[in-house]
Amino acid sequence: MSDQKKKNLTPVQQKYQKFASDREVKRPVFKNCIKAFLVGGAICVLGQFIQMFYYTFFDFTEKTAGDPTVATLIIISVILTGFGVYDRFGQFAGAGSAVPVTGFANSVASAAIEHRTEGYVLGVGGNMFKLAGSVIVFGTFAAFVIALIHTMLTQWGGL
């Protein structure tokens, strides 16, 4: 907890929080990291196979095979979300299943399913990007800033 937050607490609250945190079961961070590494890595290996499949059997180059590969992973993730499997998988894998593109697809699909009962326009349409929306907003903004820096360096920095 930040020091600022701690200052607003009374001594009784601080004493209790110490008391409670001594008895709390902590997140198994190291175990979670290992699981995330293995599962996240496995998803990437799967992606690699799909990509090889596309440029071996179809008319794709190693570069252009990226698009159908991402689309395939997204479809798999959405189907698993629809069958109610992905959230259980996520509880085990943590960041391993949240960080890859499959996690992003899951956040969109799960929100869409959740709000189906409120109708297609206000429910599904309005809530689909409830979780993924901020990823898009800050992702786009970050890309814009990086593009500016890149342009400045190449145009005037002489790189």
Partner 1 sequence: MLVGHQTWEFENKPVIASTGTVGGPFEAKGAIPYDFDTLHDDLWLGQDSYEKAEKVLFEESCIKAIEKAGLTQEDMQFFFAGDLVNQLTPTSFAARTLSIPYFGLFGACSTSMEGLALAAYIINSGGAKYILTGSSSHNSAIEKQFRYPTEYGAQKPPTAQWTVTAAGSAVITNEGNGPYLTSATIGKVVDMGLSDPYNMGGAMAPAAVDTIEAHLKDRNVDPSYYDLIVTGDLGKIGQIIAHDLLIDHGFNVTKEQFQDCGLIIYKEDQPVLAGGSGSGCSAAVTYGHLLNRMKQGEFKRMLVVATGALLSPLSFQQKESIPCIAHAVSIENGNDLKQ
Q: Which residues bind partner 1 (CB under 8 A)?
A: 8-10, 12-14, 16-17, 19-21, 23-28, 32, 81-82, 84, 86-87, 89-91, 93-95, 97-98, 103, 106-107, 109-111, 113-115, 117, 130-131
Q: What distance in Å separates the CA atoms of residue 102 and residue 97, rounded to the nearest whole number?
A: 7
53 or 98: CB nearest partner 1: 98
Give all strands (DSSP E) within the chain, no chain letters: none
14 or 48: CB nearest partner 1: 14
DSSP-derived letter for residue 99 is S
Least separation, in Å, of the C-beta of 97 and partner 1? 5
69 or 107: CB nearest partner 1: 107
Angle, alpha carbons 139-140-146 (nearest 5°): 90
54 or 90: CB nearest partner 1: 90
> How far, rounded to the nearest angstrom, does the alpha carbon of residue 73 sit from its chain's CA centroid?
13
Least separation, in Å, of the C-beta of 103 and partner 1? 7
Residues 6+ apart with CB under 8 A from 65: 51, 52, 54, 55, 58
